[in-house]
């Protein structure tokens, strides 16, 4: 890992279900397991914890919002004097950039979780003022981890961030164990679809549900795993389209990998992504994907015809759905091969260790910047 022992503080809003929470808690645990002085500072509550963290030291501030945590965070950093502060989620990253001025011996690394100029069209990111704040604040950070090249280019083009601060590192496959692959003849049985993710507008569940109404030549089941503000509207849409016998909503579960392995295709309808963990792990267990080529990391995971399909519009999506039971296109071991060779946990952890070494040594090498 890192060339010498390092005091690293990882900061998360909570340990609730979520891609950022999953990845950063995984990183913190592995840095701790590799004998670094890693601590995870969680602004929220222990009762919300859903991820396995082993013997990692976790400090809970038991606050409902960042606003209520400000003085506790500053006090904690002042007391523990970490060499590195590693944060994620945009509002936490902004706060860390503001306080970095007071901790000149600490390096601040932020991991961004979306293509912000596109994400600003959805949810709580609608304010042009917030984008102005992001542009000013992120320039104060020592390093920004981008999950995709789309994200890096977005920072350069739309937020005027110096490219030397930007490093592209995808998310790791965090599966505890791999699977024995088995092929299925799709023409002989019901096809099983799955989508995993927050039920929010930018995730595009609505267009996925509308697309499957075009399936006429085979029987299918579609499991949607997740929760979020769109749940009621999506449930009503399923009833309106007469799909109650085909579509099943499932809340967050720790058995997602089993659901992925039992499915034939992962469907992703997102309008913007960071680096979709569920899609990545679907490929890792050998389940191919059908996804829109949206801004973000999806295009860096999906290899056309190798582990899935990328589409540009609804008609392309429907055309692929209609032809799925004509022949077996994908072999599960081949679906898994590319992502295992590119995003295994060992590969991604090594990239992070290289990055932290470079930040400590003020060595913003072009080699790292272009990874």
Highest mean pLDDT among 25-29, 183-187, 332-336: 25-29
**Above 90 in pLDDT, residue 348?**
yes
Mean pLDDT of the chain: 90
- pLDDT for 132: 87
**Above 50 in pLDDT, residue 364?**
no
Instruction: Report yes or no: 261 and 238 within 8 Å, Cβ to Cβ.
Output: no
Mean per-residue pLDDT for 105-114? 95
- pLDDT for 188: 54
Q: Which residue has the tokens 């002085």?
A: 37
71-86: b (≥16 Cβ within 10 Å) or e? eebeebbeeeebbbbb
- Point out which residues pair with 144 in neighbouring strands: 110, 166
Residue 300 pLDDT grade (very low, low, confident, very high; cuts 50, 70, 90): very high
- pLDDT for 331: 87
Rounded-to-integer distance, Cα 113 and Cα 108, Å: 16
pLDDT tens-place string over residues 198-209: 999 999 999 999
Mean per-residue pLDDT for 192-196? 97
Instruction: Report yes or no: 286 and 261 within 8 Å, Cβ to Cβ.
Output: yes
- pLDDT for 366: 43
- pLDDT for 40: 98
Q: Is 58 helix (H, G, I), strand (E, B) or coil?
A: strand
- pLDDT for 119: 79
Q: Is 108 helix (H, G, I), strand (E, B) or coil?
A: strand
**Above 60 in pLDDT, residue 159?**
yes
pLDDT tens-place string over residues 53-96: 999 999 999 999 999 999 999 999 999 999 999 999 999 999 99
- pLDDT for 162: 95
**Above 90 in pLDDT, residue 3?**
no
* β-pair type (220-225, 191-196): parallel
Tell me which of 273 and 366 has the higher pLDDT. 273
Tell me which of 308 and 217 has the higher pLDDT. 308
Q: Is 349 helix (H, G, I), strand (E, B) or coil?
A: helix
Instruction: Report yes or no: 187 and 326 within 8 Å, Cβ to Cβ.
Output: yes
**Above 60 in pLDDT, residue 182?**
no
Mean per-residue pLDDT for 126-150? 89
All structural domains of the chain, each given as residue ranges with its CATH number in brackets, are 7-172+344-369 (3.40.50.2000), 186-343 (3.40.50.2000)
Mean per-residue pLDDT for 278-290? 96
- pLDDT for 367: 44
pLDDT tens-place string over residues 242-262: 999 999 999 988 889 899 999
């Amino acid at each position: 890992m890192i060339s010498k022992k390092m005091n690293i503080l990882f900061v998360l809003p909570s340990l609730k279900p979520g891609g950022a929470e999953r990845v950063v808690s995984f990183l913190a645990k592995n840095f701790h397991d590799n004998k670094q002085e890693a601590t995870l500072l969680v602004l929220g509550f222990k009762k919300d914890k859903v991820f396995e963290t082993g013997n990692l030291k976790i400090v809970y501030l038991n606050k409902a919002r960042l606003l209520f945590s400000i003085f506790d965070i500053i006090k904690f950093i002042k007391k523990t004097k970490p060499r590195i502060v590693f944060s994620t989620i945009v509002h936490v990253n902004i706060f860390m950039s503001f306080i970095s001025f007071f901790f000149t011996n600490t390096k601040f690394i932020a991991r961004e979780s979306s293509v912000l100029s596109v994400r600003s069209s959805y949810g709580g990111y609608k304010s042009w003022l917030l984008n102005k704040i992001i542009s000013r604040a992120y320039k104060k950070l020592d390093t920004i981890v981008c999950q995709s090249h789309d994200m890096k280019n977005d920072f350069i083009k739309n937020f005027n961030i110096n490219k030397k601060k930007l490093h592209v590192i995808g998310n790791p496959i965090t599966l505890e164990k791999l699977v024995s692959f088995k092929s299925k003849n799709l023409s002989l049985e019901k096809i099983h679809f799955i989508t995993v993710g927050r039920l929010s507008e930018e995730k595009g569940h609505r267009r996925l549900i509308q697309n499957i109404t075009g399936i006429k030549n085979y029987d299918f089941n579609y499991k949607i795993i997740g929760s979020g503000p769109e749940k009621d509207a999506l449930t009503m849409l399923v009833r309106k389209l007469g799909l109650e016998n085909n579509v099943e909503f499932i809340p967050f579960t720790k058995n997602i990998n089993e659901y992925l392995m039992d499915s034939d295709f992962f469907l992703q309808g997102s309008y913007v992504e960071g680096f979709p963990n569920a899609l990545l792990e679907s490929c890792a267990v050998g389940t191919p994907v059908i996804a829109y080529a949206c801004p973000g990391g999806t295009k860096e995971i999906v290899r056309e015809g190798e582990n899935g399909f990328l589409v540009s519009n609804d008609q392309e999506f429907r055309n692929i759905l209609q032809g799925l039971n004509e022949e077996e296109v994908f072999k599960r071991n081949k679906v898994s091969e590319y992502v295992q060779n590119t995003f295994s946990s060992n590969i991604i952890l090594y990239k992070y260790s290289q990055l932290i070494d470079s930040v400590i040594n003020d060595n913003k090498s072009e080699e790292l910047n272009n990874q």
